């Protein structure tokens, strides 16, 4: 990260990586604009896994957790091994990028992750065995869903950066939380800053999909071309 930044400064250019966080959503650009304009970021809260967002948005009623995960995989929202999405590490890397862009010299170990899966699921030797473990642990996931529904809340896997600390935790949020109303593979991020204190700045939209990601990459290419023009 520092090598890229220093090289860009040395040659008077920038490097673009918008789609590393939130697919085509203008998340990196928004954070950079806030920082460059002199605003101070007090807190960042985010849902940055389109896969997990899709799963929790469809984990309702009588449907089993493993069925939703399988559906997400069949639709192309997960990696060939869904654990690569569900173990929180991909989310952690996105939080790490945001933390660094916010001025923190963070490494991966500086982002704490609450596992949303039982150890037996994470440690399964094959993908097939992973799905078997999801079924065997169905009660665990059902209880989480029922607890959330009984209190009129929804399950959300949320990253937070505040006071020099970064974390990713499984939470239950109610209708008053800005992360309550999501659909599909939505990503959402909330910036609380000196200027956006009473009403945080929110960016929300599809966090997965070839079209929106390609659009984000294309926008970066245009920006590079604009620098050379």
Active site (catalytic) residues? 94
Helices 27-36 and 89-101, packing angle to 10 deg = 20
Is 18 in contact with 26 (CB distance < 8 Å)? Answer: yes
DSSP per residue over 16-79, as a string? --GGGTTTTSSHHHHHHHHHHTT--EEEEEEE--HHHHHHHHH--TT--HHHHHHHHHHTT-S-
C-alpha distances in Å from residue 202, one per residue of 3, 31, 89: 30, 11, 23
68, 155, 122, 87: CA torsion to nearest 10: 100
Q: How far apart are CA 88 and CA 170, in angstroms?
A: 10
- As beta bridge partners, residue 158 has 169
Q: How far apart are CA 51 and CA 208, in angstroms?
A: 8
**Distance of alpha carbon 223 from its chain centroid, rounded?**
24
């Amino acid at each position: 990260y520092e090598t890229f930044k220093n090289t860009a400064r040395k040659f008077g250019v920038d490097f673009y990586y918008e789609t590393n966080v939130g697919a085509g959503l203008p998340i990196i650009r928004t954070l950079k604009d806030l920082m460059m304009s002199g605003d101070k970021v007090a807190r960042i809260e985010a849902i940055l896994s389109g896969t997990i967002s899709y799963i929790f948005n469809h984990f309702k009623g009588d449907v089993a957790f493993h069925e939703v995960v399988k559906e997400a995989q069949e639709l192309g929202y997960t990696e060939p091994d869904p654990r690569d999405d569900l173990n929180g590490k991909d989310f952690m890397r996105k939080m790490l990028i945001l933390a660094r862009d916010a001025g923190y010299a963070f490494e991966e170990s500086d982002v704490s992750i609450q596992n949303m899966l039982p150890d037996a699921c994470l440690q399964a030797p094959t993908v097939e065995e992973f799905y078997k473990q999801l079924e065997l642990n169905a009660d665990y996931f059902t209880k989480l869903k029922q607890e959330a529904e009984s209190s009129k809340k929804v399950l959300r896997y949320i990253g937070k950066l505040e006071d020099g600390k970064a974390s990713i935790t499984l939470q239950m949020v109610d209708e008053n939380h800005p992360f309550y109303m999501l659909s599909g593979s939505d990503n959402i991020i909330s910036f609380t800053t000196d200027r956006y204190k009473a009403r945080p700045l929110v960016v929300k939209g599809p966090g997965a999909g070839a079209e929106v990601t390609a659009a984000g990459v294309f926008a970066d290419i245009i920006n590079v071309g604009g620098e050379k023009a």
